[in-house]
Amino acid sequence: MSAPTETTAWTAADLPSLAGRTVVVTGATSGLGAITAKELARAGAHVVLAVRDTARGARLAATLAGSTEVRHLDLADLSSVRAFAASWDRPLDVLVNNAGVMAVPEARTVDRFEMQLGTNHLGPFALTNLLLPHITDRIVTVASNAHRRPGVDIDFDDINSERDYRPWRAYQQSKLANLLFTRELQRRLTEAGSPVTAHAVHPGYAATNLQGRSAGAVQRLMLAVTNRLMAQSDAMGALPTLYAATQPLPGDSYTGPDGRGELRGHPGPAQRSAHAQDDLRARRLWDLSEQLTGVRFPDLGDGSPRA
């Protein structure tokens, strides 16, 4: 598929009919995930809210116009990821890897991964690969402009921040991992002859509940102030996700706001760091992610050798 030549002022009102399509949205109880689920359901998709708090998910689903269901998923627990994937028994058009945490105090997942790496990258990595035999169209993963900050890289010698934990550095690493994951996933899909495509997006500077969970009271206060002065709405922040989930785009696309600095605006092509375009880093991260999670790129049943 070729990329459209014009993306200016694209909004959720421009969503096509999604009748007959099924979409999974992780972390759909608030913020960007809730907006994404709402708009996709409004456009006619059957939306599965994959969430940790199913009661909260059910309350949100009850407010949505359209077909929805709620399923439990905790990306910080690989047994939960495996259970979710094992229970899936029908075609899935689109997987939206939206759930994430940002700059949280040091913590570990059930499987002893650093919390941001586990929730933002390793959980979605495992979920995507386990669901891939069912996926018919695309995978959309929410990354961040934070991956382009100077000095951000994957610390392959201490990827779980066991020697030195810094909340923002761990977050930035996990967001770079999202882009490297998307790049290597698309390479493997292409090599396997699969029609499925992988895409990354970022919301710019959008006011969501992520900022309220950041480490440190001073940081939270500063973020609250800048949210009021600089951030765009979560509805605007969700537009790149909605765009990438529904529009004709080439594999390994990256979409974000089209305004200055990619902080605000309507969906358009986004910039990546040099590290995010490094195929060697992408393959090394993939191999390490397979080792850590025990989940591999699946045999897609088309007769091609496994990548």
Enumerate the active-site residues: 171
| Pairing mode, strands 92-97 and 135-142 | parallel
User: Which single residue is written with the structure tokens 């358009």?
Assistant: 268
Instruction: Please give the sequence-ordered ranges of beta strands (E in DSSP) within the chain, or none if there are none.
Output: 22-26, 46-51, 67-72, 92-97, 135-142, 197-201, 253-257, 267-269
Please answer whether residues 200 and 178 qualify as being in contact, where contact means their C-beta atoms are separated by less than 8 angstroms: yes
Q: What is the distance between the alpha carbons of residues 279 and 275, in angstroms, rounded to a whole number?
A: 9
| Pairing mode, strands 67-72 and 92-97 | unpaired
For the record, the structure tokens of 108 come out as 């570990």
Polymer length in residues for the chain: 307
Q: What is the distance between the alpha carbons of residues 297 and 41, in angstroms, rounded to a whole number?
A: 30
Q: Which residues of 29-64 are buried (b: 16+ CB within 10 A; e: fewer)?
A: bbbbbbbbbbbbbbbbbbbbbbbbebeebeebbeeb
Q: How many CA atoms lie within 13 A of 171 on its CB side?
A: 20
For the record, the structure tokens of 121 come out as 């990258």
Q: What is the distance between the alpha carbons of residues 75 and 84, in angstroms, rounded to a whole number?
A: 10
| Pairing mode, strands 197-201 and 135-142 | parallel
| DSSP structural state of residue 104 | P
